């Protein structure tokens, strides 16, 4: 198989070729490694190689919906036992932090048959929507190297969009799957709270706001991988209702007539680019032409208040995380980026009373969204207020 053929397939397509014995897993890995050698020096998407582990895995009798498919994991959580992990930070990189466990999401990906051969670039501790960590350097957008690939799953997005792999691990607590998907022309879904696992070291992250899944080229790959990894574990804080049908089956059914709300205005008053507005308007017209009811509307939520409450949680959670890293590694502020130090300092100033008030407000926002979705099936908005920025 030539690269021109390889890049035409999604993950399920490649897995079908392996199943049909039209190609071997080791051949797919060789193609991925060859593509990585060609483009990664410019993209800086993959920062920690796992080539030997991957080659050994091709010798195993793999099974699952993605058996034999080359894959990458994000260098934030998604730990592999025995593989150095940095979370995009000098604090962990300098001590060559190497976990002695697999993250549960990794176990489930492996059960689905993937072959991981590297860890991808991420901003320090995933706290920014742009991937440019001091520890590893900036990640570039394969569509235009002068532009960034978003964050915090920027490395995975660049790797998929750059044709290295058809699907890669990602995570999202404030847009970290959705922003890179938008900037790199991919499909990115952030699963609902509790749908995918966080164990063994966490029960959930950011009170369920942060979730792990994948970035990929096709909707069906995302659906099939969610089928493969969804469900509770020993570390789960609670068990949510299992889906009635497989996601892969559902996306192949013709949708019913939907009532869809759309909005092109920023909830915090940010200027929205003409490109973003045009994309939403064109999508709204397309949905209407397909027979759906499309209405311009928005939830009754104070966007600025929500943003403040989100940032309060974000900064406070990171302050705790930084303190844990310092305790574990003996790191000092010298080992962290300046903006990380600032975020942690702001978070440390939050009192317990303020934090509880903030969480209560999250519940009020959820109530308003529940009320909104009693009226509508979907809510269509721009992913970001503008297109990807240049460096």
- Here the tokens at position 207 are 């009170």
Q: Which residues pair with 294 in a beta bridge?
A: 260
Helix residue ranges, H only, 44-177: 51-57, 90-93, 104-111, 154-161
- Give the chain's radius of gyration (CA, Å): 21
Assigned token pair, 381: 């908005």
Round to whole Å and give the CA distance between 103 and 198.
7
User: Active site residue: 36, 149, 176, 340, which one?
Assistant: 176
User: Which of the residues 89, 91, 116, 152 is marked catalytic?
Assistant: 152
End-to-end CA distance of the chain: 36
Give the dihedral sign, CA 222/227/232/237. positive
Q: Which stretch of DSSP H or E encloses residue 342? A: helix 338-348
Q: Provide the β-strand partners of residue 119.
A: 48, 73
User: Any catalytic annotation for residue 236?
Assistant: no
**Distance from the Cα of residue 42 to its chain's centroid:** 22
Residues in CB range of 64: below 8 A, 6 or more apart: 111, 112, 113, 114, 228
Question: Is residue 316 flagged as an active site residue?
Answer: no
Q: Give the active site residue among 74, 93, 128, 217.
A: 74
Q: Is 152 a catalytic residue?
A: yes
In the chain the beta strands, taken as DSSP E runs, fall at 46-49, 70-74, 115-120, 140-141, 144-148, 167-172, 187-188, 211-216, 259-262, 293-296, 378-380
Phi, psi of 378 (to 5 degrees): -140, 155
For residue 366 the two structure tokens come to 């959820």
Class of residue 277 by CB neighbours under 10 A (exposed 0-12, middle 13-18, buried 19+): middle
How far is 275 from 72, CA to CA, in rounded Å?
A: 31
Catalytic residue positions?
74, 152, 176
């Amino acid at each position: 198989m030539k690269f021109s053929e390889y890049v035409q397939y999604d993950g399920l397509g490649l897995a079908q070729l392996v199943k049909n014995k039209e190609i071997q897993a080791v051949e797919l890995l060789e193609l991925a490694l060859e593509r990585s050698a060609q483009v990664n020096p410019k993209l800086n998407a993959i920062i920690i190689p796992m080539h030997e582990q991957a080659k050994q895995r091709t010798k195993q009798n793999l099974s699952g919906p993605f058996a034999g498919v080359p894959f990458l994991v994000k260098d934030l959580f998604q730990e592999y036992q025995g593989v150095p992990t940095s979370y995009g930070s000098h604090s962990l990189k300098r001590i060559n932090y190497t976990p002695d466990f697999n993250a549960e999401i990794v176990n489930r990906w492996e059960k689905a048959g993937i072959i991981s051969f590297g860890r991808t670039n991420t901003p320090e501790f995933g706290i920014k929507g742009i991937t440019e960590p001091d520890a590893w350097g900036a990640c570039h957008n394969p569509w235009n190297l002068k532009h960034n690939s978003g964050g915090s799953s920027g490395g995975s997005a660049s790797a998929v969009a750059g044709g290295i792999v058809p699907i890669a691990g990602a995570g999202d607590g404030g847009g970290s799957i959705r922003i890179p998907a938008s900037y790199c022309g991919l499909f990115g879904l952030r699963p609902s709270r509790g749908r995918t696992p966080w164990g063994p070291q966490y029960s959930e992250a950011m009170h369920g706001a942060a979730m792990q899944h994948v970035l990929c080229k096709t909707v069906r790959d995302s659906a099939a991988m969610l089928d493969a990894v969804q469900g509770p574990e020993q570390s789960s804080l609670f068990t949510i209702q299992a889906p009635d049908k497989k996601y892969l089956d559902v996306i192949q059914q013709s949708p019913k007539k939907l009532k869809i709300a759309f909005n092109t205005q920023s909830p915090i008053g940010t200027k929205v680019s003409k490109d973003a507005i045009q994309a939403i308007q064109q999508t709204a017209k397309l949905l209407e032409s397909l027979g759906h009811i499309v209405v311009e509307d928005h939830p009754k939520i104070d966007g600025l208040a929500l943003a403040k409450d989100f940032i309060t949680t974000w900064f406070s959670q990171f302050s705790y995380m930084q303190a844990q890293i310092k305790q574990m590694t003996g790191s000092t502020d010298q080992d962290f980026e300046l903006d990380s130090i600032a975020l942690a300092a702001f978070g440390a100033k939050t009192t317990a009373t303020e934090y509880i008030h903030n969480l209560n407000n999250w519940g009020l926002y959820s109530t308003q969204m529940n009320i909104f979705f009693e009226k509508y099936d979907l809510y269509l908005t721009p992913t970001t207020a503008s297109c990807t920025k240049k460096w």
